[in-house]
Amino acid sequence: MTPPKIIRKAREKGLQIIAITDHNSAENIPAFNALKYEDIKVFAGMEITTSEEVHVLALFEDYEEIKPLQEIVYETLEGAEFDDRLGYQLVVNEKEEILSFVKRPLIGATKLNVFEIVKLIHRYNGLAIASHIDKEVFSIISQLGFIPEDIIFDGLEVSVYTDINEAEKRFGNLKAPLIRSSDSHHLHEIGRAYTEFFINAPSLEEIRKALRGEDGRRVL
Amino acid sequence: MKISDIVKPLELESLTEDFKDREIRGAYVSDLLSDVMANARSGDVWITLQTHINVIAVATLKALPAVIITNNRRPDDETIKKANEEGVALFKTNLTTFETAGRLYQILKAG
């Protein structure tokens, strides 16, 4: 999973928009900016772990926009320094060279709760998507039983393990629209699930409109 | 066994103003609210680390008379307010979940 390989795979799978959402980190986004390609839009993202251990996807137009949130998440991550015996948390560049090893415990959780995280994502103009709500752990529903009324998600993600018709049956009554995506942790998983949007351009603003069903934009 | 019987041995600090001293039938330990919704039985005391307001909704739904939050975690005011409204006895303790559950197990088996 390096930036050039991810782009190549996404292209091969016919994806036009992808989001890079490392756990609690956005440090690998700049490498994508340094690559030269025009056919695939890359959103700057993070999969944030809240204090309840709910995973929330934060999606932003670009790296500059996500930076302030990245800093807050880093400051509030709990846990001991990451131990290399668990593997490596790498920051790489566009040439697949290792720039640094992240020592913060990205596998841990922030001190901020899901309400606070969603509010922060919105303050910095991002989209807040509840991750894999069909999963038995780390989802808003597994951790909190149901979605609290005061938390406004822009979308709810289901994993590759739930097809969209089943998802509609199980979660269709929830307020936010459903999307399905791959949650790829390995190259071969890219494109195994995806969502089609009817939009005018590959921008976060257009996706926002589609999720809200505004101006003729919609989730297909 | 009543709620008041476990306050001292489990070193509980009551967060709700006063509580109905209801009967305890057993206990359930889990930090996944979905799991509690599926598997806790009415009359169980619920031991958890979670402090979100949804804890109270799940406790009400499952007719759990008391919730114990362990490890010196403090729920926010909203959660405490909701517990007062719903008549759920809400406690915190400095003990770990293991210690809390262990002590309660012994009391329930003896009682």
List CB contacts (< 8 A) between B74 and chain A.
none
Q: What pLDDT was estimated at residue A138?
A: 94
How does pLDDT run across A173-192, given as a tens digit for each residue?
998 999 999 999 999 999 99
Average pLDDT over residues B28-53: 94
- Calculate what percentage of chain A has a pLDDT beyond 90: 87
Res B92: pLDDT: 98
Instruction: Measure A150 CA to nearest chain B CA, in Å.
Output: 11
Q: Do A143 and B36 touch (CB under 8 A)?
A: no
Residue B111 has pLDDT above 90, yes or no: no
Q: Could you say which residues of chain A have pLDDT below 50?
A: none
pLDDT given for residue A108 in this prediction: 87
Are the beta carbons of A143 and B33 separated by less than 8 Å?
yes
pLDDT number for residue A18: 98
Give chain B's mean pLDDT: 95
- pLDDT tens for each residue of A90-127: 999 999 999 999 988 898 899 999 999 999 999 999 99
Residues in B closer than 8 angstroms to A143, CB to CB, are: 31-34, 50
pLDDT tens-place string over residues B58-71: 999 999 999 999 99
Mutation target to probe the B interface, by most B beta carbons within 10 A, among A49, A50, A52, A115 is: A52
Q: If 0-12 CB within 10 Å is exposed, 13-18 middle and 19+ buried, where does residue B23 land? A: exposed
